[in-house]
Chains A and B, each alone.
Chain A
């Protein structure tokens, strides 16, 4: 059974159709890149998979391990193992990062019928992961993402990914706002999480990110559809020729 199956997905936002029958199949261990120009529906796809309100699914389905994902609340999806790394992680003043991480992790474990982490076990786990990602302890005491730089926010997303150990990670424009050094740190963090059980969907506008996170498959999106799929060489082809050739194909 596939991990994630998007079948002929049609999505509207405020009367306007954004996705017009998108299909995508993701198996465990695979890394898929979704590329496309602005406005092609890349972020919409990531939001709909995560369950963000405000999108109306008018056709098609999304299956996660064969289960209807669209019937689940965002928190149920998270507990099942769907993780969205946000393009713009929000700042939550007054909620300490540590408290947030523990509340989220235990909420997911509880939903899966697992026991909650004890405080020492939890702290040990967070410290390990944070050290690996070059995240200072001081950052964990601050409000979630409050005063974090662009790179720190993205690293905080990867920290959560490492902590929650999801089955499928959707990385929405992870490279936006990052300089080359920050990008490398973030990409290293992601690569460390690649495993035969875990799949990743890397959404990006630029080929650059794919030098660091090398995909197994590349899909080109245009006007709400996947218009071409191929191997990693497709990304290089796009880098050379641009998206214009696909505008008509859509």
Chain B
């Protein structure tokens, strides 16, 4: 442990927590060693703070202060409450995989009659089995990002999904994260989805809270590998409790002629950060990554995207919308790197924020680093309030102030939601946005 960190109370508490948890964490040998290395890497910086450029707007030392101890396994009562919470937001027709307080809940999950070519197991099983073939996949992210490194060190459970070559799943898979522990606790999860060649899948991730769960911390990561000619549709809906922390990372790799359509909505959690790294590893691939932040109260939500155009002839589109009310704070950081040989890259990013109060804040930070000369790249960012003339027009037609605002907010986030290719997923996002608008009153 380095000296600088030892001076820091949070760091000390965290290393104690890791030391205590260490023996309970699944996996031995090579996996335990990788955990140790990841924790040391995290400990080099500790919780990231504003002097680290990537975390300038999301200072975890100020916002989070401490990492809570690992959540205990949910008891019968908590599992019942989790089941109730699940029922309230159930989505029809999906294969549901449920994690309660960071642990796979087999009774709430659907592992029956898996389609041919689909394999699912829990992360815990995979780690305990010490599967050498899986090791590299699980530790795909390097330890450069301190919160990803922390997740690598502490991950306890999650799901590992493999879709074989040529298999196109018709039934979407939903991973539901439910917090149920009544005492403040942290959960560390990691899931892995590997799509073979010529394959297809639809993945929904949901984050919700059961009754009684309040100040909890979600530390999640998702590793996606999309093979050649494969396509993944992905929707991520965060409706965590308002006192919760959610620090999630996605690490995505696309093969050649692959397609990744992803949409994220942040409506829950007091403090959240979603950081996604998307790397093109094969030519002719396409990514649409869109997102919406719907924030009020004192919420803080940070979406940080890193698009790595490492090969030629790939296209990426980023559309991001933030609706910020009260004293909430929305952050969007989008970095696009076009590597020197990645000619014919077509990358665009558009981010817009709508401020509904004088105290709301939105920070947009687009960064383009282009090292190739034959590319099409562009970005735009705007921040503004609702147009008074539009509001008056709607009110003169009979809509109350809230109704008029709701209609304009729906229109504002519409473009990001419309880009969801899958009809059912789009409906899901629209419904989640409506829930937020209705809760607003």
Chain A interface residues (CB < 8 Å from chain B): 50-53, 73-75, 77-79, 83-84, 86, 89-90, 92-95, 99-100, 103-105, 107-108, 111, 143, 160, 164
Contacts and interface: CB of A to CB of B under 8 A. Distances in A.
A73 B400 contact: yes
Contacts of B390: 90, 92
A74 B392 CA distance: 8
Most buried by A among B389, B394, B400: B394
B400 A75 contact: yes
Nearest 7 A/B pairs, CB to CB: A94-B411, A108-B398, A74-B395, A78-B398, A104-B397, A94-B414, A107-B398
Contacts of B109: none
A75 B399 contact: yes
B395 A75 contact: yes
B403 A103 contact: yes
Interface string B369-404: 000000000000000000111101111111111011
Given A74-B395, A74-B396, A107-B398, A95 B408 contact: yes
A212 B410 CA distance: 40
Nearest to B388: A53
A143 B394 CA distance: 13
Interface of B, helix, strand, loop or mixed by DSSP: helix
Contact of A160 (B389, B397, B399, B410): B397
A107 B394 CA distance: 11
B412 interface: yes
B398 A79 contact: yes
A144 to B, nearest CB: 8
B396 A50 contact: yes
Contact of B398 (A92, A99, A111): A111
B111 interface: no
Contacts of B393: 86, 89-90, 92
Contacts of A105: 398
A50 B393 CA distance: 10
Contact of A51 (B396, B399, B410): B396
Contact of A107 (B389, B399, B414): B399
28 contacts: A51-B395, A51-B396, A52-B392, A52-B396, A53-B392, A73-B400, A73-B401, A75-B398, A75-B399, A75-B400, A75-B401, A75-B403, A78-B396, A83-B396, A86-B396, A89-B393, A92-B393, A92-B408, A94-B412, A95-B407, A100-B394, A103-B399, A103-B403, A104-B397, A107-B399, A108-B398, A143-B411, A164-B397
B403 A107 contact: yes
B415 interface: yes
Nearest to A84: B396
Interface string B400-441: 110110011011101100000000000000000000000000
Contacts of A164: 397-398
A78 B396 CA distance: 6
A94 B394 CA distance: 14
Contacts of B398: 75, 78-79, 104-105, 107-108, 111, 164
B330 to A, nearest CB: 19
Contacts of B400: 73, 75, 107
Given A53-B392, A90-B390, A103-B403, A78 B410 contact: no
A50 B391 CA distance: 13
A83 B388 CA distance: 19
A160 B396 CA distance: 11
B353 to A, nearest CB: 16
Most buried by B among A52, A77, A104, A143: A104
B380 to A, nearest CB: 16
Most buried by B among A77, A89, A107: A107
Contacts of A75: 395-401, 403-404
Contacts of B395: 51, 73-75, 78
A168 B390 CA distance: 22
Nearest to A145: B393
B415 A94 contact: yes
Nearest to A54: B388
A86 B392 CA distance: 11
A13 B426 CA distance: 45
A84 to B, nearest CB: 5
A188 B68 CA distance: 71
A105 B397 CA distance: 8
B388 A103 contact: no
Given A95-B408, A100-B397, A104-B399, 14 more contacts: A50-B396, A75-B397, A75-B399, A75-B400, A79-B398, A86-B396, A90-B387, A92-B411, A93-B411, A94-B415, A103-B399, A104-B394, A107-B398, A107-B399
Nearest to A93: B411
B410 to A, nearest CB: 7
A24 to B, nearest CB: 19
Contacts of B392: 52-53, 74
